[in-house]
Amino acid sequence: MKTIGLIGGMSWESSAEYYRIINQAIQRRRGGTSSAQIVLISVDFARIETLQASGDWDRAAADMIAAGHQAQAAGADFLLLCTNTMHRVADTVSEALSIPLLHIADVTAAAITDAGLGDVGLLGTRYTMEQDFYRGRLQEHGVSVKIPDEPDRSLVHDIIYDELVKGVIRPESRATYLSVVDDLVERGCQGLIGGCTEIELLISGDDLSIPFFPTAELHALAAVDLALLD
């Protein structure tokens, strides 16, 4: 079994889900008391959030590279950034390391393609929804992406940072998200990407009338596939 490197803490609420999903999948597939070999480097999200808000992506990348070097030195065979937004610097991080980085958008695009869909909605942080690093990566795989209009983008972003990263789950916020999704469906979206790893703490496929692509779960399960690959 390969050792999975996780850079977490962004936020720890979703990083805990990565740990749970990976270990449960390893136990299902290997049986008995099997669990995953994991190196987890957890960063202080308050610092990362400040760098995001100020647009200091170079310093944010340096923090991710430092964490990646720690994971690599501790024996990780490959690396995951347990966050969608920080894939803004994924290429820079990958170039600085000698172990592979499993990109969350590639994993998500593969799931969408396997489902036979090509036009999906994207919810996430403002950075993920509005900047090209994520949507562009999906489009390279042939996935067409729509994002909410304003003020819905601001509502989606604020719920993530004001509530979900703090473990606050409010029914009112779930209703807000589902209303945003309804609008995306009316605009022709065939599926929905939960493009922030905390979003699947708030909504699930059971809440939706279209297929749901929970990025944290997809990313974690892809890590299990890679860890168990001979």
Q: What is the pLDDT of residue 230?
A: 74
Q: What is the mean pLDDT of residues 54-83?
A: 98
pTM: 0.96
**pLDDT at 108 exceeding the cut of 90:** yes
Q: What is the mean pLDDT of residues 90-111?
A: 98
Residue environment code for 141-177, b if the CB has 16+ CB neighbours within 10 A, otherwise e:
eebebbbbeeebbebbbebbbebbbeeeeeeebeebb
Share of the chain above pLDDT 90, in %: 99
Residues 6+ apart with CB under 8 A from 68: 5, 7, 41, 79, 93, 96, 97, 99, 101
**pLDDT at 124 exceeding the cut of 80:** yes
Average pLDDT score, the chain: 97
Q: What is the pLDDT of residue 118?
A: 85
**pLDDT at 1 exceeding the cut of 80:** yes
83 among known catalytic residues: yes
Residues 6+ apart with CB under 8 A from 151: none
Q: From the candidates 82, 125, 196, 215, which is the catalytic residue?
A: 196
> Two tokens at 8?
């977490």
- How many Cα atoms are found within 13 Å in the side-chain-facing hemisphere of 85? 28
Amino acid present at 88: R
Domains of the chain with CATH codes: 4-103+218-228 (3.40.50.1860), 105-215 (3.40.50.1860)
SS3 state of residue 27? helix
Q: What is the pLDDT of residue 2?
A: 98
**pLDDT at 13 exceeding the cut of 80:** yes
Q: What is the mean pLDDT of residues 150-167?
A: 97
**Going edge to edge, which strands form the sheet with 144-146?**
144-146, 119-123, 191-194, 212-214
Q: From the candidates 82, 83, 197, 215, which is the catalytic residue?
A: 83
Residues 6+ apart with CB under 8 A from 139: 145
**pLDDT at 26 exceeding the cut of 90:** yes
Share of the chain above pLDDT 70, in %: 100
**pLDDT at 67 exceeding the cut of 90:** yes
Integer angstrom CA distances of residue 208 from 3, 45, 205, 211, 212? 35, 30, 5, 7, 7
196 among known catalytic residues: yes
Whether the Cβ atoms of residue 161 and residue 49 lie closer than 8 Å to each other: yes
